[in-house]
A and B are shown apart, each in its own frame.
Chain A
């Protein structure tokens, strides 16, 4: 957890120091797309369900 906290804190400090708030929506979108890709993946062993023969 400590690692996660410092990573997030680092980003926060960077945004605050550089006043780069315009990066916020980009970061949020990147996280969203990342989550989508991870959870949207189909199982490698899922069979064909449309082609039955």
Chain B
């Protein structure tokens, strides 16, 4: 990473690996399964066992490690040495042979090409908004998707993040990041946390991150269109009258028309409140058509 923002973010994650955990929590593969929240389990169950998967920006690697428990080919890539070091320690401890870890800077197309492989499922959850050039990073990682492959892109929403930004401001100015406020805000986002390393990682990620951008649904639809990716749906839903029915079959196979601008606006205004708990985070699912060619 050669950009100023890149160095800043890399330094941040080297100091505070994310999502982080106390390695002593995971003594067996079963411990890893038990620690997974329900959406991770939904992702796992809805991806076929023979599919290849890459988790872009895997950090300390819980998700990709978990997905590798039932699959032969799961990759986790990240550009933070400290995060990958922790992930490798977990890999050795649990003997996760089908889990491949590699240091990759997703803003560098040569490093993406060096992976030398395309995947059935490309997950990039909560990563692009910390890169300094979210679209360039998106464009690069779309090269990793096989024709007919699936994509999940998780980002902070420009509307949905407003209340968290207010909390960041209050925490910094009035509450001076005191512990009571930290605990309350962390609880709000991830519930009760016993693992102190994980709690610290969360606080740093949400409240002290040196660089983040926010994005709109319209922007992501535009990215998909420019790169020949079919828009499938979002979680939470951007369909006018239906909330996301997150179920095992629905995450990857559900297909809706991209929402019109007034509907995008309406739904995103609603997200100010409804996605507040998760810091305005949403995921867009898409698919690369079988006969896909180059991007613009």
Contact = CB atoms under 8 A, between A and B. Distances in A.
Nearest to A37: B273
A51 B63 CA distance: 10
Size range of the interface on B? 35 or more
Contact of B279 (A43, A47, A50, A53): A50
A41 B270 CA distance: 7
B163 to A, nearest CB: 13
Contacts of B19: 51-53
Given A37-B273, A48-B190, A53 B278 contact: no
Interface residues of A, number: 15
B269 A53 contact: no
B122 interface: no
B40 interface: yes
B39 A49 contact: yes
Contact of A52 (B40, B235, B236): B40
A52 B36 contact: yes
A39 interface: yes
A36 B190 CA distance: 26
Contacts of B269: 36, 40
A40 B270 contact: yes
B243 interface: yes
Contacts of A53: 19, 21, 35-37, 40, 62-63, 66, 198
Contacts of A52: 19, 36-37, 39-40, 43, 62-63, 125
Interface of A: 36-37, 39-43, 46-53
Given A47-B42, A49-B281, A51-B19, 11 more contacts: A41-B274, A47-B37, A47-B38, A50-B189, A51-B37, A51-B190, A52-B37, A52-B40, A52-B63, A52-B125, A53-B62
